[in-house]
Every structure is written in structure tokens, then in C-alpha cells.
Amino acid sequence: MASLGELTRQHSTLTADQSAHLQRLVSDWGMLADLCFADVLLYLPSQDGRWLVIAHVRPVTGQTIYIADWVGEWASTTETEVLGEAFRSGSIVEHDVKVESVPEPVSVLAIPVSHKGVPIAVLTRESSPRIGRLPGELETTYLSIFDRFATMIQEGSYPFATRSMISAAPRVGDGAMVLDEDARVRYASPNAVSVLHRLGITSNLVGMHLAELGFNDGSVASSYERREPVLEEFDRINSDDVSVLTYSIPLLSAGEVTGGVLLLRDVTELRRRDRLLLSKDATIREIHHRVKNNLQTISSLLRLQSRRLTNTEAKAAVNESVRRIRTIALVHETLSREAGDDVAFIEIVRPLMRLAEEGLQSPDRPVRFVVRGDGGKLPATVATPLSVVLTELLQNAVDHGFPEGSSGGTVVVVLANDGKQLKIEVFDDGLGVAPDFHIENATGLGLVIVRTLVTTELAGKIAMRQATSTELQEAGLTVPNRGAGTVVELTVPL
């Protein structure tokens, strides 16, 4: 389905300001449908004289008469006559119109939408007497407020020039209060009365200023003064700690405030859940921080133990364990700084590369580490084993590709995440592996750890082989004279 902006560009010559005026109207008009208990449609005149439905909203407070969405459909001949009359005269007109999908005639109230004194579209309220609500005080009041908004649309003072936050604002069904030009209460819906009762306000409302009732009237005063809607939330600190979201809309006539509508929503439970989520999030981050500290403590103890060892093989094994623990600690450190359970993998890879530069290279074998691409955000359950795998691959590339006394070289890590799988390629321009090498047959502890984590814990695939000259060049490496270089290809489903 085409958007309102696309339809206006394809079928009209509206300016950018006129199109923006219609966009603001549509962003606010859920309230209009609720106030009139009927479907509200927006029609645009095309260059060939026809009328196109460019937006359609249904009421929350009443039953729709249209099952199908009419956006993108052309008005019938009888509808065109009503729309054209309202558009040409600049006045609000009402007629009964025969619509194919509705058995009985539909009452159509056509309101010209003006922008800077020029009609640019027509908004309609379309209802059927068969499914209308029984008239009562609430229905009568809401319809009278809709009529005032209709006049503002005709005059061009509604929608307001500033874009409101109606998507986050209360709806009419949440609770509505009608105010006069002095901000006295003239009517409060039953749901609005319920919200006030939560705030501890039980006195008679009609004829009273909000401040006299003990209600925070900041949004009303601000909207009256600025002549534009104001969205505001306040808390009443009492036994229940009630939070109320208010949306104040001034009613204007000839530029002067003649009253207002105040929509209310009790958001106490939503805010309580928000606070609970924030508290849980802070607790999780603190847990990651403590795990990181504990791992660093274990790493320090192992380093102390390593200094007391005299056996070279045992010392190397302890140092490798220290390196693996530091890798896992690095993941937890990153998670302790970010909200949620996902982590930007590049924020882990960069520190890993720095650790590799510090711990693996030496003056006798200078090795440069480069990372390209972005692995996207990964859950901690994937990021942790994947970090250990990458550390082992970097260690393996240096130990076997650039032995002590060699001239060193470069290791490049390429990351790619398409949303379905993460692909990691590790290139080096070192000695390379044997042509018949298969990682499935490797017996070294590092590659065994890599193979086990990738295939078992991550359900991925891994391959290690000699790199071709083209692959090395695409990775930004020069083709070595001493060997073919190595590439490790790793894919993990997400």
C-alpha cells in the first residue's frame, strides 16, 4: 500500500508545505475518529478531477462501517459531488451517499482542509445510523468537540504547525476532559474521573480549575499560552505512586483560545515495569562486572603460579589459560557497559586484536593485526565462545605462520553479518598449512578447542586451508614468497 507522501506526489501538485500539513493532520486524527465515533477519511483532488482516498482511520470508541481499507481507492460519482461542493465552497457540507459495501446510505460530513487560506484536500466523517451509538452526555459532548475541530480544520488552524507526539499521547477512550477558555472543567468522561480518583481527587469537577482540585495543570497552562498541544507526564507521590500522562489540546477560534481538551492516561503500571526493567538491566550489568573482576582475579592468581613454575611446557600451558580467561573477561567487561544481552562484536574484536599485538608479537617477529567489517550485535551466548575461538585462531596464525626469527607479517580478520549468519575469515601471509591439512584431524589443544566450540556450541562450520593469491590480495595482503598463506573460514548461524 502506498504511503500518503507517495500518493500526494503521484496524483497532485501540492507543495512541500501543503503535503506536510496533511501529514500532521493524519498524525493527529485518531482523536478525531474517536470523538465522532465514525470512520474518518482524507480525500485528495487529482489533476483529472477525480478524488483519491489517501488516508483512512477507524474509531476506537465506535464500530467501523468499512471492513476494507479505502486508501488508494477512487471516490464514486456521488461522493465526488459532495467532496467537490465542500472543496469549491470552502464550507462544511453533509449529505447521504450510497456506498457499494454498505447496505444503507452513508452520512458523509465533508470538511475542507485549508492551508494558509487555500483548500488542499477534504476530510470526511462517514457513519451509518444503523450502527451509531445511543446519544448520551458523553456522545453529545464528544460530537460537539469534533465540530469545533472541524471548524478549525476548515479555518486552517488545525492541525497545529508544530508536529505533536500523538503516537505516545493518550487516546480519547483513555479519559477526556473538556475545559473552557479559563481552563475550568466543563465535562469529564467516566474514564477521566477514574484517573482522577487514582490521584486522590474525588470532589465535584464541573466548574472547578484543575489547580483547585490539586491536579497538575502545567500542560494546560502551557498549551493555552503557546496555542499548541503539550504532552506532559507527572507523578503523584502517595501510597500508590501514580503516574499520569496528559495531552492538552487548545481549541481555537480566529486565533484565540476558546477552550481545550485534556486527554489523560494512567501509566502507573507501565512506569513501574520500566523501572523494574531498568533495575534488572542494572543488576545484570553489575553481575557482568563482578564476573569480569572474578575472572581477572583468577588470571592474576594463575600468573603468580606461572612465575613459580620451572617446567617450560607447564608454564606455557598456564599462560595460555590466562590468555583464554582474559578473553572471556573482556566479553563480560563489554557487556557490563551495554544495556541488554546483546553486544556489538566489533567492540570485543578490537580489544582482542590489541591483546594479540601485546602478547603474541616480538621484535624477532613483528606481526600486524587488522580488522575489517562489522560483526553486528550478537547475544552473549554467541559472543563469548566466538571470542575464545578468535583468540585461538590469532594465536595459531602467529605460532605457525610466523615462527620465531621470521620477518613477521600481517593477520587480517574480516567480519560480515547478513542477519542470518555471521561469517569470519582470518587471513595471514605466513608459511601456510600443508595442502592436505584438514582441521578435523588436528590434535593441537587450540584447534581442538576451536573445532569443538564452533561445531558443538555455536552449531557452525569451520575450514582451514591454504589461501589463494586472489584471496590474499582481496584481503589487502601481499602474496608471500615463502609460502601460500592461510585462510580460516568460519560461519555461525544467527
pLDDT-based confidence at 415, cuts 50/70/90? very high
443 vs 186, which has greater pLDDT? 186
pLDDT digits (tens, 9 = 90+) for 17-41: 999 999 999 988 899 999 999 999 9
Give percent above pLDDT 70 in the chain. Answer: 95
Confidence (pLDDT) at 318: 85
Cα dihedral sign, 29-31-32-36: positive
pLDDT-based confidence at 238, cuts 50/70/90? low
- Global model pTM greater than 0.75: no
pLDDT digits (tens, 9 = 90+) for 248-262: 999 999 889 999 999
Residue 379 clears pLDDT 60, i.e. is over it:
yes
pLDDT digits (tens, 9 = 90+) for 446-493: 888 889 999 988 999 999 988 888 888 888 887 665 557 889 999 999
Residue 223 clears pLDDT 90, i.e. is over it:
yes
Measured CA to CA, the distance from residue 207 to residue 173 in angstroms comes to 22
What does the pLDDT average to over 281-289? 74
Confidence (pLDDT) at 93: 94
Check if the beta carbon of residue 460 is closer than 8 Å to that of residue 407: no
Measured CA to CA, the distance from residue 32 to residue 170 in angstroms comes to 13
pLDDT-based confidence at 332, cuts 50/70/90? confident
Confidence (pLDDT) at 121: 95
What does the pLDDT average to over 340-365? 80
Residue 441 clears pLDDT 90, i.e. is over it:
no
What does the pLDDT average to over 176-190? 93
pLDDT-based confidence at 200, cuts 50/70/90? confident
What does the pLDDT average to over 84-112? 90
Confidence (pLDDT) at 472: 83
Measured CA to CA, the distance from residue 169 to residue 330 in angstroms comes to 42
DSSP 479: P
Confidence (pLDDT) at 143: 93
Confidence (pLDDT) at 482: 54
Confidence (pLDDT) at 69: 86
Packed helices 312-337 and 268-308: angle between N→C axes, nearest 10 degrees? 160
Residue 256 CB-density burial (10 A; 0-12 exposed, 13-18 middle, 19+ buried): exposed
What is the residue-averaged pLDDT of the chain? Answer: 86
128 vs 123, which has greater pLDDT? 123
Residue 240 clears pLDDT 70, i.e. is over it:
no
Cis peptide before 351 (omega within 30 of 0): no
pLDDT-based confidence at 340, cuts 50/70/90? low
Chain position carrying cell 477558555: 181
Check if the beta carbon of residue 162 is closer than 8 Å to that of residue 234: no
Residue 149 clears pLDDT 70, i.e. is over it:
yes
Alpha helices in 407-457 (DSSP H): 445-452
What does the pLDDT average to over 129-157? 88
Q: Cα separations (Å) of 186 from 65, 154, 208, 367, 399?
A: 31, 25, 8, 79, 82
Confidence (pLDDT) at 310: 85
Q: Which residues, in sequence order, are CB contacts of 96 under 8 Å at separation 6+? A: 105, 106, 107, 108
Least confident of 46-55, 150-159, 181-190, 475-484: 475-484
Confidence (pLDDT) at 481: 55
